[in-house]
Amino acid sequence: MPFATLNGIRVQYVIQGEGTPLLMFAPGGFRSVISRWTAAGGKREWQEMDGLATLARRFKCIAYDRRESGLSGGRVEPLNWDLYVREAKELLDLAGAKRALVLGSCFGASLALAFAVRHPQACAGLLLHWPVGGYRWRMKGHSFFRRHIEFVRAHGLAAILARARVGENFWLDPEIGPWGSPAAIYPEFASQLAAWPPADYLRIVEQSRDTLFNDTMPSGASGEELQKIDMPALIMPGNDSSHAYSASWALKELMPRAQLWDVMAEQQNGRNTLEVILRFAESVSQPA
């Protein structure tokens, strides 16, 4: 798969298929990678339908390993929603698409919301699959950041590099932190990470935690911002500790043109999820 430098960061991406552009924010929390859309690397609906390959028969799919995930690089700085969608906007430009349907799953749904807030003119409609949110989601994020902070205080930044080589990513091994994945792949980045003054580094970690996991609302946009997302949106609700049904319902209540798919998570599968995505895309392409 090709790479591009987006927002100064090396990013692995794929552009596949023809048709209406579909910008895809992958599921997986802090391991949001292209393979999560595939039969080989995905889960549930995306595995069953072989998401990327199947959607590419109808759309021009634009997907990527999010920064600090997979084979993409990173940069130590306070993480926030504005930063998280800059690479996506540059990738959309690289694909030659001025406007796209935006599909986000899990934590990717948060990026889809953030993208709609910051680039409404580039967003034809939102497909939000299993959006994250709720009290238990917030506590999960805080616990992962706490484990990383405690690890750095106990062992120092150099210990991240040794552990990152076997820990894979923050979501599977919280001790390595949000920048462990690129540190394991890119030696220059690893050297830069190890050179940070620990106090300054931990301050950035805490700022990132408090921005990304600031409350129990759906992640990615504030309540005020959600009320201003004036575009068609389809919410495919989850129903577990990370993807609280209440988060999907809050989106339905706050977003003026959102519809909530009335199929509970337990009854969702590759076939009916694909069908509802295609119906929504067709409705967006038709004049009101």
**Which pTM was predicted?**
0.96
The rounded distance, in Å, linking the Cα atoms of 175 and 139 is 16
Q: pLDDT tens, 266-277?
A: 999 999 999 999
Please compute the mean of the pLDDT values over residues 135-163 and round it to a whole number.
96
pLDDT at 252 (0 to 100): 97
By CB neighbour count within 10 A (0-12 exposed, 13-18 middle, 19+ buried), where does 191 fall? exposed
Predicted confidence band of residue 167 (pLDDT cuts 50, 70, 90): confident
Q: What is the mean pLDDT of residues 2-31?
A: 97
The token duo for 39 is 């039969």
CA-closest candidate to residue 79, choices 192, 185, 180, 213: 213
Average pLDDT, the chain: 96
Average pLDDT for 143-165: 95
Q: Identify which of 97, 86, 135, 108 has the alpha carbon closest to the alpha carbon of residue 27.
A: 108
Q: What is the mean pLDDT of residues 162-179?
A: 91
Token pair of 78 as six digits? 């306070």
pLDDT in tens, 85-127: 999 999 999 999 999 999 999 999 999 999 999 999 999 999 9
Between the CA of residue 219 and those of 15, 33, 114, 130, what are the distances in Å? 27, 19, 9, 12
User: How many secondary structure helices (H) and strands (E) does the chain include?
Assistant: 12, 8
Instruction: Reply yes or no on whether the pLDDT at 165 is more than 90.
Output: no
Q: What is the pLDDT of residues 179-229, one digit of tens each?
A: 999 999 999 999 999 999 999 999 999 999 999 999 999 999 999 999 999
Domains of the chain with bracketed CATH: 3-134+216-285 (3.40.50.1820), 137-212 (no CATH)
- Once rounded to an integer, what is the mean pLDDT over residues 276-287? 88
- At 24, the amino acid letter reads M
How does residue 285 score in pLDDT terms, banded at 50, 70 and 90? confident
pLDDT digits (tens, 9 = 90+) for 61-76: 999 999 999 999 999 9
